[in-house]
Structure 1
Amino acid sequence: MKLLYNSLCLAALLVLTTAGCRKYLDIVPDNVATIDNAFKMRADAEKYLYTCYNNLPQFGNEGADPGFMTGDEFATVYPVLGNINGNLYRIARGEQNIVSPIANYWDSKYFQALRECNIFLENVDKVRDLTDFEKKRWVAEVKFLKAYYHYYLVRMYGPIPIIKKNLPISASVEEVKVKRQHVDSVFNYTVSLIDEAAVDLPVILPNEFSELGRITKPIALAIKAEILTTAASPLYNGNQNYANFRNKDNEPLFSNTASPEKWQRAAQACREAITACEANGNRLYEFVPRSVTTKVSDSTQRLMSIRAAVTDKWNVELIWGASNSTGGGSRGFQSLSQARLSPFTGTIPNENIGSMLAPPLHIAEMFYSNNGVPIEEDKSYKYGTRFTALRKALKSERYYIREGYTTVQLNFDREPRFYADLGFDGGIWFGQGKNDDDNTWVLEGKLGQTGGRQGASLYSVTGYWPKKLANYNNTINDPAQQYNVEGYPFPIMRLADLYLLYAEALNESQGPSAEVYGWIDKVRARAGLKGVVESWTKFSNKSSKFSSKEGLREIIQRERLIELVFEGKRFWDLRRWKVAENYLQRSVNGWDIAQREAVNYYRVKPIYTSSFSLKDYFWPISENSLIVNPNLVQNPGW
């Protein structure tokens, strides 16, 4: 029995160790795949380098990116129908389990990715025609990727085994039985790899045309800042809930005491990253129409500066974009985000306009009032009637809502990011090939209208659409009945994200200050809002909120949730802040979309009830993995 177990383990190791070679069978003589053949010449090794990149997450993919549909930013038809992958949505609805975990990345993708990175690092010296400069750069890129895969796993599962080197085929049974490492050790190892990589990474890409998406030094420093901010956050930094979370040898996996030094280290990393990115030309994006004949108002230009900061591909604000989403990937989430705006879109093939990603009401409530403070704090906002009061839009509101159109109070008197990021019944939608003077459509979302419910699944179940994700350059071609999509790299890190990380780290390490306000205000100014101090002093019923660390923490967190909405950040932020249970135990609601009249349409309708408990902060390891490797311990609560 022992011999059988040993043989199975060694066979598994062999398969995993050579997995990276399977993509290169076409370059190996006589179809015999070996590591030596994969690293014989530069061209072959470069293919293996791209294999290491190919393991990066599919950002913005609703069926593969945990940050996208696993949280509470989107609802959709359930059971899932049509052209949408609802696998991760099942987790949002409380269906995760230990027998066959949904999105079981522990047993599949990312540990394999680490093995492939190690294979590259262990064999790159064998390449005969690789220059020293190229080798240093490639090694640095793979070290960064290796760090990122560790980071991705630790966010998902908490303490993980550190995979410094691949185990040899001759490894004993006990060596195969790896155990989880203290969460601080995982973060420290991850950061050390990035520090090693940063030395040899280029500041700018030598060949931007063919290398967009590859790792540069500014990217590495920005992700280091995010990693250290995550490590300093309450989920990982002195989390008392995990005081008894230990390996089977009784080694602790979390520290019981929070370390202020972690926030200081995060702040320093953020400052270094900002300096490097700005020196490299990164700045907050401002919209400029591509055509001199395109006419836009000042209001529309502001809205597009917000929206196109995401969709204008490879723009100056983007620090790191997912090049694997510029084609089919972004077409997927763009189709699911696009509302039907033209009567002709009802006949456009379903795969082009799915219109199925639906932000719930709590996302619409999250945005500030037009005074730049939360609607529940604004002294003048009609918060009590936000769901019930109907009114017609005035001429002064025509850039946001069609003049004379009746909609609900929740859609009035909101900040520009509300109108830039959300589509809603009666809302103005810029772009998509409209050729009239102001290049705008009007979204009509009630039953029987152009954007309303169609068929069994092709509609927004809440009455809101993530307009932010639909590139304004996509075109609705009425005569040809086509929807043409221009892809873009899904943002992994952009400058506004980094500014807000820095503000957070400064506040946690030093408390409120003019410097902290300044970094938040940079982001707010692009959104057309006054600074934090002025806005809260004048308009909030919590006028001194910004003056305490706790109050400013709430402001910074709300600012991140608004600015980075739909970008896959909320899912991770709510967890690292250790506040997910405050957001994810609620009724997920929308409007009554099966109605034709405004008075009936604008009624709150429950879609499902989300649940969240301590165990949901980290995903479970499958029961089978715990049986195969008895040195592993399960995450608490599972």
Structure 2
Amino acid sequence: MKNLKYFILITFISTSFFSCDDDFLDTVPNDRISSELFWQTDQDAVFAANAVYPFLLQDAFSFTMWDAMSDIGHVTLQWRDESLVEKGAHNSSNGKVASEWAFAYRGIQAANIFMGNVEKMTPQDPALIERLKAEVKVIRAYSYIRLAILYGDVPLVDHELTLEESRELTRTPVEQVWDFISDELTASAVKLPKVQSDKGRITKGAALALKARAMLYAGRYTEAALAAKEVMDLQVYSLNASYKDLFSYQAQNTTEIILDRQFAKNVNNNNIFNLTTPNSIWPQVNQFVPRKRAVDVYQMANGKDITDPTSGFDPYNPYINRDPRLGYTIYTLGDTLLNGTIYNPKPTSGTGDAIGSSENSTFSGFNVKKYLNPEDMAQPTNCGINIILLRYAEVLLTYAEAKIEANDIDQSVLDAINEVRQRPDVNMPPITVMGGQEELREIVRKERTVELAFEGLRYFDIRRWRVAENLTGIIRGMTYENNSGELVTIALTGFDIAFDKERDYLWPIPNDERVLNPNLTQNPGW
């Protein structure tokens, strides 16, 4: 999948049709692929399905921004649209709000174009065509998951729209959208193989794992647990032995990866290194950084929270004897950077990472490690690393959370959580006490936070948990010892996080969409 070129979609979407009484004008255009020539062979269908895959991910920037807008991250540049979302100052004309809607519906339209045209073919290999249709339906469902969690009621479209139809659309109740997602993913899973020889293609496990995520988001916990259990029972997936290496080139396509967006240097690249690297390595480009809240949630290596007086936490040495995932995920004071220098973000350090030294230097004293690889240092905008969209650890935690929320608590809940906690290079103490629903809910939510940090999920978690209004106020960064021996905690003054619980759990319907189609009603408060 890495080396396939995604030009087919543009050509068959943009094909124009002309008619004229003069025969000499009635010719096949030679600057594009005409639909009259395309859709003839099974290989055409393969190319067309491949062209829908990019709609799994808009770009590396949009991927990084989800956690940047959550309580564990911060958008570096305060003039960005995402920064306005972060502090609750966005509106229906916000660029992020508009682009996510538009990208999702472009993907849905591309999928619908594929489905409408492939049905007209006479395939040489009907099983292949059925598999491709299932793959494309999963991608379409993926777009609807994002739309439903962000906007609530959205137009549900399952066929190629004409311009006139698009102006008459109305919003479908979100519960019907979740029904559609569930049905599509269930039916697609039947048509998909457990393993695809072409790495990067959607599998049975991807369809079921997405269903588990979707039903968790929808609050349909029994369905979510059942779908997650189906993935577990496939016996195809397992945790990578090393969490540290999980986001490296060496770990691509391992058994933990269920769904990713495939990239390749020089062919179909991304710029995730450029977006997240510390300022001292690649100056003036960093887009987001972790906050103190992200660092503090990692337990001590003995399994106790750092707020526990018996944990052994030392505020003068705050990163010692912590959950190893902290060191694998976030750059903290004293770490060794990829170029061999020591990470020193203290305001008086004089390094490129010193807090306040430039617009793109970390405000918090932290930087993200995930997806930063030495192979990309020479060309930070030409990365070939695959971006993981769904991995087996999430499925295990989805299973545990869904069972807890359904109050169907048994040993399998602890087993799933502990499997994640006891990955060989993490090896955190297992959860042994079968607590009640409230206690286990807190445990699994903490585990999701540390295991899946900066993988684009936290923003959606705090919204579906309905806790976002409790995570507001001043953004804080690292605590460090100043030259006088005093402990000082960085605070970003003048930038307060705000969240209106009566309004902000749904994004507004983009203003431009409502201008084009007045039938689209607006969400409350917008």
Quickly name the TM-score band, shorter chain normalised.
0.7 to 0.9
CA 486–178 in structure 1, closer or farther in 2 if over 3 Å, else same: closer
Larger Rg: 1
TM-score (norm 1): 0.71
SS in 2 for 1:547: coil
Could you tell me which of 475, 482, 489 is aligned with 1:603?
Answer: 489
Q: Give the Cα separation in 2 of the matches to 1:123 and 1:201.
A: 20
What letter matches 2:430 in structure 1?
G
Q: Give the Cα separation in 2 of the matches to 1:329 and 1:90.
A: 31
Q: Give the Cα separation in 1 of the matches to 2:100 and 2:279.
A: 39
2:189 matched to 1:190? no
| Aligned residue in 1 for 2:103 | 109
Could you tell me which of 370, 394, 398 is aligned with 1:497?
Answer: 394
CA 20–618 in structure 1, closer or farther in 2 if over 3 Å, else same: farther
Could you tell me which of 442, 467, 476 is aligned with 1:589?
Answer: 476
Q: Give the Cα separation in 1 of the matches to 2:356 and 2:183.
A: 52
Q: Give the Cα separation in 1 of the matches to 2:269 and 2:85.
A: 23
| Aligned residue in 2 for 1:314 | 253
Q: Give the Cα separation in 2 of the matches to 1:487 and 1:464.
A: 25
CA distances 1:165-195 after superposition (whole Å, capped 9, x unpaired): 2345786xxx942222222211111111112
Give how far 1:101 is off: 5.0
CA 531–200 in structure 1, closer or farther in 2 if over 3 Å, else same: same
SS in 1 for 2:475: strand
| Aligned residue in 1 for 2:412 | 515
What letter matches 2:303 in structure 1?
G
2:60 matched to 1:92? no
What letter matches 1:144 in structure 2?
V
Give how far 1:487 is off: 3.4
CA 571–330 in structure 1, closer or farther in 2 if over 3 Å, else same: farther
Give how far 1:474 is off: 3.4
CA 336–178 in structure 1, closer or farther in 2 if over 3 Å, else same: closer
Q: Give the Cα separation in 2 of the matches to 1:598 and 1:130.
A: 78
Q: Give the Cα separation in 2 of the matches to 1:364 and 1:531.
A: 21
CA distances 1:385-413 after superposition (whole Å, capped 9, x unpaired): x7xx53xxxxxxxxxxxxxxxxxx43334
| Aligned residue in 2 for 1:425 | 333
| Aligned residue in 2 for 1:72 | 71
Give how far 1:449 is off: 3.6
Verify the 8 A CA contact 1:263 1:506 in the aligned structure 2.
yes
SS in 2 for 1:493: strand
Write the mapping of 1:165-184 to structure 2, written as runs, cut at 5 A. Answer: 165-167=159-161, 176-184=167-175
Backbone CA RMSD of aligned residues: 3.3
Gaps of 5+ in 1: 1-17, 81-85, 233-261, 287-304, 391-408, 435-440, 535-545
SS in 1 for 2:172: coil
Verify the 8 A CA contact 1:160 1:183 in the aligned structure 2.
yes
2:182 matched to 1:217? no
CA distances 1:118-154 after superposition (whole Å, capped 9, x unpaired): 1211111334564212211111111111211111211
Verify the 8 A CA contact 1:369 1:415 in the aligned structure 2.
yes
Could you tell me which of 426, 429, 443 is aligned with 1:555?
Answer: 443
2:301 matched to 1:370? yes
Give how far 1:313 is off: 1.9
| Aligned residue in 1 for 2:343 | 443
What letter matches 1:310 in structure 2?
F
CA 485–370 in structure 1, closer or farther in 2 if over 3 Å, else same: farther
Could you tell me which of 281, 285, 288 is aligned with 2:240?
Answer: 285
2:273 matched to 1:334? yes
Q: Give the Cα separation in 1 of the matches to 2:355 and 2:263.
A: 32
CA 556–592 in structure 1, closer or farther in 2 if over 3 Å, else same: closer
Q: Give the Cα separation in 2 of the matches to 1:264 and 1:554.
A: 19
Q: Give the Cα separation in 1 of the matches to 2:225 and 2:76.
A: 42
2:430 matched to 1:531? yes
| Aligned residue in 1 for 2:224 | 266
What letter matches 1:491 in structure 2?
I
Verify the 8 A CA contact 1:371 1:378 in the aligned structure 2.
no
Verify the 8 A CA contact 1:336 1:356 in the aligned structure 2.
yes
CA 228–377 in structure 1, closer or farther in 2 if over 3 Å, else same: same
Q: Give the Cα separation in 2 of the matches to 1:229 and 1:326.
A: 35
SS in 2 for 1:55: helix
Write the mapping of 1:47-86 to structure 2, written as runs, cut at 5 A. Answer: 47-58=47-58, 61-63=60-62, 67-79=66-78, 86=80
| Aligned residue in 2 for 1:572 | 460
Q: Give the Cα separation in 2 of the matches to 1:327 and 1:371.
A: 45
When structure 1 is superposed on structure 2, of 548-557 and 462-471 the one drifting more is 462-471
CA distances 1:216-264 after superposition (whole Å, capped 9, x unpaired): 11111111111111111xxxxxxxxxxxxxxxxxxxxxxxxxxxxx322
Give how far 1:458 is off: 4.1
What letter matches 2:98 in structure 1?
N
SS in 2 for 1:609: strand
CA 170–158 in structure 1, closer or farther in 2 if over 3 Å, else same: closer
SS in 2 for 1:113: helix
Q: Give the Cα separation in 2 of the matches to 1:366 and 1:170.
A: 51
CA distances 1:53-111 after superposition (whole Å, capped 9, x unpaired): 1222236x23466524322332254345xxxxx43233113331124553314762222
| Aligned residue in 2 for 1:399 | none
SS in 1 for 2:318: helix
CA 131–29 in structure 1, closer or farther in 2 if over 3 Å, else same: farther
CA distances 1:183-212 after superposition (whole Å, capped 9, x unpaired): 221111111111221222122113x3xxx2
Verify the 8 A CA contact 2:277 2:372 in the aligned structure 1.
yes
Verify the 8 A CA contact 2:476 2:489 in the aligned structure 1.
no
CA 449–468 in structure 1, closer or farther in 2 if over 3 Å, else same: same
Verify the 8 A CA contact 1:76 1:461 in the aligned structure 2.
no
Give how far 1:521 is off: 0.8
Verify the 8 A CA contact 1:330 1:490 in the aligned structure 2.
no
Give how far 1:19 is off: 7.4
Could you tell me which of 379, 382, 385 is aligned with 1:488?
Answer: 385
What letter matches 1:55 in structure 2?
F
Higher helix share: 1
2:511 matched to 1:623? yes
Give how far 1:419 is off: 1.8
Give how far 1:337 is off: 3.0
Give how far 1:551 is off: 1.2
What letter matches 1:605 in structure 2?
A
2:310 matched to 1:379? yes
SS in 2 for 1:497: helix
Q: Give the Cα separation in 2 of the matches to 1:324 and 1:151.
A: 23
| Aligned residue in 2 for 1:8 | none
SS in 2 for 1:635: coil
Q: Give the Cα separation in 2 of the matches to 1:33 and 1:216.
A: 29
Q: Give the Cα separation in 2 of the matches to 1:67 and 1:47.
A: 30
Verify the 8 A CA contact 1:368 1:375 in the aligned structure 2.
yes
Q: Give the Cα separation in 2 of the matches to 1:89 and 1:38.
A: 44
CA distances 1:443-467 after superposition (whole Å, capped 9, x unpaired): 2333214643586334211111112
TM-score (norm 2): 0.84
CA distances 1:308-338 after superposition (whole Å, capped 9, x unpaired): 2233322221111111487798852223333
CA 514–598 in structure 1, closer or farther in 2 if over 3 Å, else same: farther
CA 42–330 in structure 1, closer or farther in 2 if over 3 Å, else same: closer
CA 332–592 in structure 1, closer or farther in 2 if over 3 Å, else same: farther
Gaps of 5+ in 2: 1-8, 17-27
Q: Give the Cα separation in 2 of the matches to 1:329 and 1:95.
A: 35
Could you tell me which of 124, 134, 138 is aligned with 1:144?
Answer: 138
Q: Give the Cα separation in 1 of the matches to 2:204 and 2:147.
A: 22
CA 327–24 in structure 1, closer or farther in 2 if over 3 Å, else same: farther
CA 337–623 in structure 1, closer or farther in 2 if over 3 Å, else same: closer
SS in 1 for 2:477: strand
CA 510–456 in structure 1, closer or farther in 2 if over 3 Å, else same: closer
CA 154–190 in structure 1, closer or farther in 2 if over 3 Å, else same: same
